[in-house]
Homo-oligomer: A and B are copies of this chain.
């Protein structure tokens, strides 16, 4: 049985005439007769009563008509959904990302994406850079957001593009550095406690922060790992328990009692990268997401990512 049989059958059932059906299908009448006869033979059941002047559906034909229409509609819908998938309006999108950092911008981007593409099922998996590389290779994720970047990527059949480039910034209690004292340097906080944003997954990130302190401040920071959300740590900062060092983008929303200081002069910049497979195939959902992700970053932080598709 083929869809042609169903198309011909439905046409005859709707026209209640083989000739009219043939006209509608732009074929000759015997073609329709034959196909319907074939279908009846395959089912082992008559679908029409032809009493040589009028054509009418049998009761079996009436039941089968529903199924035939449903099947044709299903086929049509399958094609339409494939087109939607090609436009990135339907399908899956799986992203691997590093948890504490992406909180600064990923939720916004995901919300905006969901608004534009409600039919796409988005999955975000938390994993470090090395795991992302694996997951990209075996197809578990389509896009990796991390900061190891080119080091890991180019070796494999992956590409890494800069996503974000910004200065580090420091948050401290307002009274810790009154506005009258001008711009602080990182070394001004060498004696403060450096609050860390999360216990786990912090190892690599804490290593990065330590490097920043060493290279730009010339001191060894005194870390204090407390809290698990940005908000809870910022409230500790406001209370004077310590300071928080992190990428500038982390501090987009003002917090009562906390002042933010961008470390412009520092040598170290914070960078993040998008990793993806050098796929033979453009994945529309992924590419749509990258566009939206770029737009939802503060202009100052964007790195160039719009160049290739």
Q: Which residues of A contact B (CB under 8 A)?
A: 1-4, 6, 43-46, 49, 51, 56, 58-60, 62-64, 66-68, 70-71, 74-75, 77-79, 81-86, 90-92, 139, 142, 279-281, 283-285
Contacts and interface: CB of A to CB of B under 8 A. Distances in A.
A270 to B, nearest CB: 32
Given A63-B85, A63-B91, A280 B51 contact: yes
A306 to B, nearest CB: 22
Within the oligomer, what is the number of copies of this chain?
2
A49 B70 CA distance: 31
A5 to B, nearest CB: 9
Could you say which of A59, A75, A86, A279 has the most chain B C-beta atoms within 10 Å of its C-beta? A59
A78 B74 CA distance: 12
Could you say which of A43, A62, A78 has the most chain B C-beta atoms within 10 Å of its C-beta? A78
A139 B59 CA distance: 11
15 contacts: A1-B79, A2-B4, A45-B82, A49-B279, A49-B281, A59-B85, A59-B92, A59-B142, A63-B90, A63-B91, A64-B85, A67-B75, A67-B78, A70-B74, A71-B71
Contact of A74 (B44, B59, B63, B71): B71
